Structure 1
Amino acid sequence: MRAIVYRSFGGPEVLELAEVERPVPERHEVLVRVRAAGVNPPDYKLRRTPYPPRYTEPPLTPGWDVSGVVEEAGRYTARFKPGDEVFGMLNFPHPAAAYAEYVVARPRQLARKPAGVGHVQAAALPMAALTAWQAFEDVAEIRPGQRVLVHAAAGGVGHLVVQLAKLRGAYVIGTTRASKHDFVLGLGADEVIDYTAVDFAEAVSGVDVVVDLVGGDYPRRSLPVLRPDGTFVGAAGMTDGDAEAYDRAGVRWDSFSVEPDHAALESIARLVADGKLTAHVDQVFPLADAAKAHELMESGAFTGKLVLDV
């Protein structure tokens, strides 16, 4: 089968299309014929250097997000049968080798593909939508009327956070470049801030929840905009110094990493099928052009999601 492989850590140029053996599912796994694979920031972070350090050395195949069709089902599986259309985030944070024509997966890391949605659209959802979902389900419960500030609101995760926050009745403020303001407003955001022209900390205050998808100095800069009983959700991580500053201020904070969750995927699929949640796909690349997709992902010069058509 065809798969993207890198034999050393480095830039996008280390990605190559290769012929490799098709994986064989264990009795508790399914074999999925991949139709599309989502591209996410951890894909290129792992390609550049071990991320986190416990990962094995190359050769490796990147990717976690897939949408496809079950080809084989192990004897000890009951959730799916051959021919079922499925999507999911596989095995994260451990390698899953999703940039390939076939992949093996535990059934409970998959859900049935949303009705009426193609594989490209479905492959754009798992990691980004699960991150957005778990930010609200596991960390910050949103109540109607609360003010939610979303950093990187036009990004892969951010544009889904905006939609989910609006579905929960929040007043949503997004930070993004001016060129993407119309896009974020079209998702339902109530306000947008051009972070390249304005210091968001001076433009907004009295926020109940901050969802940070940027990292760097954003946790520190976000502390003054939060209400004393507010919550900071650090999906991009935060330093020990930032955590201590939040603790001293008595403001709740949490930093988390997304995890596979078939029940959440099923809820997400229902929202997508009902037209209440949409993943915006900026560009679709053929599998052989995975390096070009990584170049664009690292540049940040896109809106929403990037997907590989397998």
Structure 2
Amino acid sequence: MSNETMKAVRLHAFGGPDVLQYEDAPKPALQPGEVLVRVHAIGINPPDWYLRDGYRALPPEWRPQVDFPLILGTDISGVVEAVAEDVEGFSAGDEVYSMVRFFSVGESKAYAEYVSVPASELAKKPAGIDHIHAAAAPMSLLTAWQFMVALGHNEPNPLQPSPHQPVPLQGKTVLVNGAAGGVGHFAVQVAKLKGAHVTAVASGGHEAILLDLGADEFIDYTKTPPEDVARDLDLVVDAVGGPTTGRFIKTLKRGGALFPVYPLGFADAGEAEKHGITVSATQVRSSGAQLTELARLLDDGTIRAVIDSTFPLAEARQAHERAAEGHIQGKIVLTVGL
């Protein structure tokens, strides 16, 4: 770290949104292979509040060990401030975006005015969108892309013995549960882009935006359980996941696939196998190369980031409180100097 300071949101202990403190912190010093970015917007994601809480949902032996004070966050959009001597392809003044150092718990440090980013995880910001929409994309869009199109990394998955394999989507029937949320609203668009017939599942207030994003059908789960009406699907992307994801097994045709974005708690492996259903998940990983590819789709509006709400960096606590309310439409974004 340098002797200079910046504003950042840090926590000195695990807990609820009230542990997020807006305060002075050391400005990161540039290391070999890195780019220093002046941050303009920060997308917030579930791993932010999982870490803030100390990953209490995980078994104790899986909970990461971190050093306090800790800066949360991974997703940023901003302007290059400086570039290490060994880095090519980026220059001071470039507008860029990134998912920073994920999955390295406690190392990303995005809730700040400046962040150092490995050059391999950085991409030029899509020119056709602003920093708020660019910061909303990285983790959620990379998750949808790596689940459904191209894995993009070789990291082993401790929750399953074999690597995750995306499935061809052209001409297939796909249901996206939790379709209005961060991953879900991108999954709808990715599936549609790749030629699938898409059914979106969310509460009724999200129907209009999801149909506008390309969904062919909509199920309001507050009125109709989707597992009661959907049948003969090729793929279910369950962006909610967890213990209830097994209910979608009966909606799939033999040979179909169930992709729970949050796979912990799934207890129906035997039932899935009996019906010839593949259940598979992956852990999203940073990829500047994939963000460069996706930037073209964001730039021309082929894929759009929906913004639920924005908060100044100093109001990160209020942003986390909004997240805890649920029924988020798209993404919540923190802004810095905008």
TM-score where L is the length of structure 1: 0.96
Name the counterpart of 2:185: 159
Structure 2 equivalent of residue 45 of structure 1: 50
1:68-95 deviation line (CA, Å, top 9, x unaligned):
1111111111121111111010101212
Q: Deviations over 1:16-58 (max 9, x none)?
A: 1010110001122111111110011110110011475123143
Q: Distance in 1 between matches of 2:325 and 2:287?
A: 29
Q: Secondary structure at the match of 1:255?
A: coil
After the TM superposition, which parts of structure 1 deviate over 6 Å for at least 4 consecutive aligned residues? none
1:26 aligns with 2:36: no
Distance in 2 (alpha carbons) for counterparts of 1:255 and 1:194: 25
Query: Aligned-residue CA RMSD in angstroms?
Result: 1.4
**Which of 17, 36, 39 in structure 2 is aligned with 1:12?**
17
State, as a whole percentage, how many aligned pairs show the same letter: 41
Task: State the shift of 1:240 in Å.
Answer: 5.6
May I ask how many residue pairs the two structures share in their alignment?
310
How far apart, CA to CA, are the structure 1 residues paired with 2:214 and 2:36? 38
Answer yes or no: is the 8 Å Cα contact 1:177–1:196 preserved in 2.
yes
Q: Is the 8 A contact 2:81 2:93 kept in 1?
A: yes
Residues 57-136 of structure 1 mapped to structure 2, 5 A cutoff: 57-94=67-104, 95=106, 96-136=108-148
Contact kept in structure 1, 2:242 and 2:266, CA below 8 Å: no
Aligned equivalents of 1:44, 1:201: Cα separation in 2: 29
Structure 2, unpaired ranges of 5+? 1-5, 152-164
Is the contact between residue 245 and residue 266 of structure 2 (CA under 8 Å) also seen in structure 1? no
User: Distance in 1 between the 2:142 and 2:226 partners?
Assistant: 26
- State how far apart, in whole Å, the 2-side matches of 1:240 and 1:117 are: 38
The letter for the 2-side match of 1:191 is: E
Aligned to 2:161: none
The AA in structure 2 aligned to 1:69 is: V
Q: How does 1:1-310 map to 2 (within 5 A)?
A: 1-50=6-55, 53-94=63-104, 95=106, 96-137=108-149, 138=151, 139-239=165-265, 241-310=267-336
Which one-letter code corresponds to 2:78 in the other structure? G
Q: What SS does the corresponding residue of 1:228 show, helix, strand or coil?
A: strand
Question: Hey, what's the Cα distance between the residues in 1 that align with 2:311 and 2:92?
Answer: 27
Give the Cα–Cα distance (whole angstroms) in 1 for the partners of residues 318 and 50 of structure 2. Answer: 15
**What TM-score, normalized by structure 2, do the two folds share?**
0.89
| 2-structure distance, mates of 1:180, 1:241 | 30
The answer on whether the counterparts of 1:140 and 1:209 sit within 8 Å (CA) in structure 2 is no
Could you tell me which runs of 5 or more consecutive residues in structure 1 were left unpaired when the two chains were aligned: none
